[in-house]
Amino acid sequence: MVSNSSVLAEAAAKYYHKLLAYKDEYEVARLYTDGTFMKELQAQFTGNYKLQFHMAPPIMEKNDPATGRPKKRTFGPWMLRALSLLAKFKSLRGTPFDIFGYNAERKMERALIAEYEATVELVLQKLNARNHALCAELLSVPDVIRGYGPVKMGNMEKAKLLRADLLEKLENPAPVKKAA
């Protein structure tokens, strides 16, 4: 049988990790250039093929007037070399020299980490036998955050609303009904 405290500890660890391990430009570059991507391509395709990457780099970002989303551009196989170089600069992540760290999505990702730490502290203060399930649900809110770019930003908004609703319930619990 799983204890209530282990459910909370597991949720806190799992979703804190999820927020800390967000997929930014450096991580995307690493995933493309660590060798796994090319091995999978070579196992799946044979013959003479040409790679094309459809990306919307934040430093070249222009929105598509029809969709309002960043407009993707097509890059050739040379992009693997550029990504390999970018992956080597991951030590810049979170420093003033991180050019990607200034965009709204990266700022929100960092803010979510601090917000989650505060949520864990609040749960530790408010936790009791009656609100255990609510606290577990509150610690699991980051599960809603998925995707990349505009998809992720939309899911961050959904998570924000869900968190606010659950915090309201935690701060102002429904009165316990007494048996007649």
pLDDT 10s digits, 8-29: 899 999 999 999 988 888 999 9
pLDDT at 1: 44
What secondary structure does DSSP assign to 31-49, as a single string? HHHSSHHHHHHHHH--SS-
Q: Using the predicted structure, report yes or no on whether residue 119 has a pLDDT greater than 90.
A: yes
Measured between its terminal Cα atoms, the distance across the chain in Å is 33
**Domains in the chain, number:** 2
Tell me, yes or no, whether 19 and 103 share the same domain: yes
pLDDT 10s digits, 63-114: 878 877 888 889 999 999 999 999 999 999 889 999 888 888 889 999 999 9
Position with higher pLDDT, 2 vs 17: 17
**Among 58, 92, 126, which residue terminates a domain?**
92
Q: Identify whether 2 is part of a domain.
A: yes
pLDDT at 65: 81
Percent of the chain residues past pLDDT 70, beyond the cut? 95
Q: Identify whether 126 is part of a domain.
A: yes
Q: Identify whether 180 is part of a domain.
A: no
Look at 72-81, 126-135, 143-152 and tell me which has the smallest mean pLDDT. 143-152
Q: Identify whether 160 is part of a domain.
A: yes
Tell me, yes or no, whether 86 and 111 share the same domain: no
**Among 76, 92, 108, which residue terminates a domain?**
92
- Nearby residues of 148 by Cβ (< 8 Å), 6 or more positions away: 23
- Nearby residues of 5 by Cβ (< 8 Å), 6 or more positions away: none
State which residues form the domain around 77.
25-92
**Among 43, 63, 92, which residue terminates a domain?**
92
pTM: 0.78
